[in-house]
Structure 1
């Protein structure tokens, strides 16, 4: 294992680096402190040892955990839930209603991830352990979760990245835990004086209009901060929403051009990479900058989602 990395922004919110895809700063597992200790996201199964080590460093035992919340059921957010739950005897797993059956029987999740990641699946995600149905708690639009001590989480259906996605607002930090609906925070560019944000448009439920509407609903609550699945916290929510919406428009324009030219998902990927290499190169990101490895991986998956959406729209026309 790599060294445990912990982050603390106050308000009783900590974060453990889960080293998803064996990368530092990829997927964050949040610890919401209070009377009912709560974890947000688990990452895939290989992240579970980091969660255990992080909790120990923070002075908590696994039996202290009361809730494990997954914003959606993609394996980089929820793949480790069943495995972690085995060590958290007093916890449930909180999930969107559309995700409940897939955590109880993750066979379709596994099949879909293998199509994307191929031979790397076992190294990156295995094992994917089912969550017992009696340990699943469903939260829908308008539901809340009382964590005690005056802390409440309010849940909102937040499609766009996936149909099985919710986000929730924390009354103490006044922050949204956004999962992937409000995009990805690329902290890697902070050495150059800025943070970079892009939408996450993975297949097969991506919907750009729903994504924009979800972000608008988050903005309407006037949050003070956003906590991202990938990766960390921003205290500039409105700037993030504007930036991600603008980049989403770029994604779709580039996708339409590539599809019209008959280039498919790989053509979209190549155009996206070319676009962002130029844009970030102009801001000082050289060829060896650490942003490129995660960004190019993400753009490959995002291109697949953009193509899927455009082909679905074509079928409806």
Structure 2
């Protein structure tokens, strides 16, 4: 595995190799008086997290706070498994996500419906988090982790209703999970971000409202769940505002052209439209169509298409 990345401001990024792919998900380690970790990814990523902490010479007994931006399994699926190794830690979660970490049966059922026979390989095991080790954080709540470093939590729906973003006072940065998109470091030099519109709580209007809230914090850097840091927040905001309506339009076009098609047929066509849109853009930016970034993009755009179709079906009911 790769070495942990020093981001400055007493923060380190550990690559968690989601789906065995480098640069897809990561954990952020905040080296404060009360050691804090943001995101754990899915359970198959926990060995990478443990190895990264070992390389940093961190004793797991010193981990005090584990924060998940939302409860989708690629962000929080491994939190229960990881918590078993951290006897002095608590888990911080959005109020709408707390019960699902305590009892993940609905999370498991939902993911099995989407991923089918691949579920076990991608996510197993999903370990419940004991109720007495869960802490809800609501809009404006703060967590002082020592050394003058304060984390402030902001409700940020759009990608999911159980999502918050966290401002870090030391770096004047914000951990945004998936609320304002996925960052693709593989597209070298482009600072390339796309919205994450996965099912089943995608809401474009809420996503733009959350973006405006984050924009109002006037941060210097953004820490993405997928994957890494951008030091150009204005560019990020501009990309989401550019791409989000185009993603929704790609779905609306399919609903107009194929009104009687099944969910699966619509999803397949929307994914094709999204891939064409994004590939055309990147080729124009001198990213050739055989570039490794497409391996990441095509996976994500298929899930994005599912969320768009799900959203439009609800709108048309």
Q: Which bracket does the TM-score occupy, shorter chain normalised?
A: over 0.9
TM norm structure 2: 0.96
Structure 2 residue aligned with 1:57: 55
> Which one of the candidate residues 82, 88, 91 is aligned to 1:90?
88
Contact 1:160 1:214 in 2 (8 A): yes
2:69 & 2:227 partners in 1: Cα distance?
Answer: 14
Is the 1:187–1:231 contact (alpha carbons within 8 Å) kept by the matching residues of 2?
A: yes
Q: Among 277, 298, 301, which residue is 2:300 paired with? A: 298
Deviations 1:192-211 (A, max 9, x none): x3221100000000000000
Q: What are structure 1's unaligned runs of at least 5 residues? A: none
Distance in 2 (CA, whole Å) between partners of 1:216 and 1:279 is 25
Contact persistence 2:191–2:230 (CA under 8 A):
no
- Find 1:188's aligned residue among 170, 186, 189: 186
Pick aligned residue for 1:79 from 77, 80, 97: 77
Aligned residues: 311
Q: Does 1:245 align with 2:241?
A: yes
Aligned-residue CA RMSD (Å)? 0.9
**1:228 corresponds to which residue?**
224
> Deviation string for 1:120-142 (max 9, x for gaps)?
11111110000000110110011
- Is the aligned partner of 1:200 residue 2:202? no
2:310 corresponds in structure 1 to 308
Q: Runs of 4+ in structure 1 displaced over 6 angstroms?
A: none
CA contact 1:70–1:77 (8 Å) conserved in 2: yes
**Per-residue displacement from partner, 1:67-93 (whole Å, max 9, x unpaired)?**
100000000000000000000000001
Whether the 8 Å contact between 1:226 and 1:235 is mirrored in structure 2 is yes
Q: Report which stretch shifted further, 255-264 or 26-35.
A: 255-264
Contact 2:42 2:77 in 1 (8 A): yes
Aligned residue runs from structure 1 range 259-278, under 5 A: 259-262=255-258, 264-278=266-280
Deviation string 1:142-167 (CA, Å, 9 cap, x unpaired) is 10101011100000000000000000
Cross-structure match for 1:257: 253
Shift of 1:180: 0.3
Aligned with 1:99 (options 97, 100, 103): 97
Match among 269, 278, 287 for residue 289 of structure 2:
287
Work out which of the residue numbers 131, 134, 138 in structure 1 matches 2:132: 134
Distance 1:202 1:5 in 2: 30
Q: 1:90 aligns to what SS in structure 2?
A: coil
The answer (yes or no) to whether the contact 1:259–1:268 under 8 Å persists in 2 is no
Runs of 5+ unmatched residues, structure 2: none
